[in-house]
Structure 1
Amino acid sequence: MTDGRSWEGNWKVRLYERVRERGYDSLTAFAEARPTSSLVALAEELGPDDIAGVQVFSGLLAEAERSHRVTRLIRGQLVRELAEAIPNGWPTVLDDANRFDVAHALARWGTFTPETQKERVRRIGDALLATPPPPGWRPLGPDDELLRALLPDEKV
C-alpha cells in the first residue's frame, strides 16, 4: 500500500518505466498477464510505495481509449472485481452474505467505469443479480463468453 508518495513527481513516467522494466510494452499487456489481480495488487507489483491502483486504472483507461478497447477494459475490470469479491466463483445461493459480496464487487466495478459507460454497467449489474450466471462461474479474463455476450466489443 502506498504511503502517499504515489503522486510525487511524474507518476505517469514512473508507472511506464516500471512496466517496461518488467518486459512489457504497455500497461495493458502487463495487466492482461494478470487478469484476476486487483488494481491494488497491480500497483503493489509495480511499486509498493509509489504507485496507486487508481493510477494503474488511469493508465489502462488512456490506453483503452487510444486503441478503442474501452469495453474490453470494462470487462477486464469486472473480472478483477469478481475475483477479489467471490474468488470461488458465482455463489450457488445468493443469500444475504453472498448478495452483499456480489453487490460490493459490482459497485466497485461501477467506480472504475468511464462516465460514458456507467448506465450500461449499472444495467448489466442489475441483470447479473436478477438472472445470475451458473453457480461457480468465474471469469478468468475479459474474453469470457458470458462477459462478451453482456458487453460486446464496441464497433470502431
Structure 2
Amino acid sequence: MNPEKPRKPTAAEKRQMKSAARLYAVQALFQMEASGQAFDRVRSEFETHRFGAIYEGDEMAEGDSTLFARILEDAVIWQAKVDQATDAALLATWPIDRIDPTLRALFRAAGAELLNPKTPPKVVINEFVDVARAFFPEGKEPKFVNAVLDHMARSFRPEAF
C-alpha cells in the first residue's frame, strides 16, 4: 500500500498563507489588547480554531503558522520600540494610544515584521496596506497605513532604501 503524500503548497498558495498569517496576527493583537488575554492563549486559539476553520459555510484561509507566531511574538517583545516608531511617524497631536485599535494592532504587527530582516520592507508595507484595505475597504486608512509604515521602515531599515 502506498499512502498518499500530502501535496506541497504552490508558490501562490504559500503567498496566500503568509498574507492570511499577517491578517490573523492583526486580529490576534487586537484581541490580546481588547480582552487582556495572554500571547500563548490567543496564539493557540487562532491556530486551533481559525486557520482553515469553516464558519457558517465559509472557510477561513489557512495561515502560515510559523510567520503568524513570529509576528505575534515579535510584536509583544518589541511593542515599546514599535509604538515609539509609530508615534514618530504620526502627528505629535495624534499619539498611538489615540488611534483606532485595529490600526494600532496593524502597526504593531507590521512594525514587528519590519524589525525582522527576513522580509523586504516593501513587501511588508504592501502586505499590511492590503490588510488595512480588508478592515477599511471604503476609508482613507490604507493610504495612512502606507505613509506610516514607509516612515517606520525607513527608520528601522534605512539601508533597504
Higher helix share: 2
TM-score computed with the length of structure 2 as normaliser: 0.31
TM-score computed with the length of structure 1 as normaliser: 0.32
The higher-RCO structure (CA 8 Å, 6+ apart) is 1
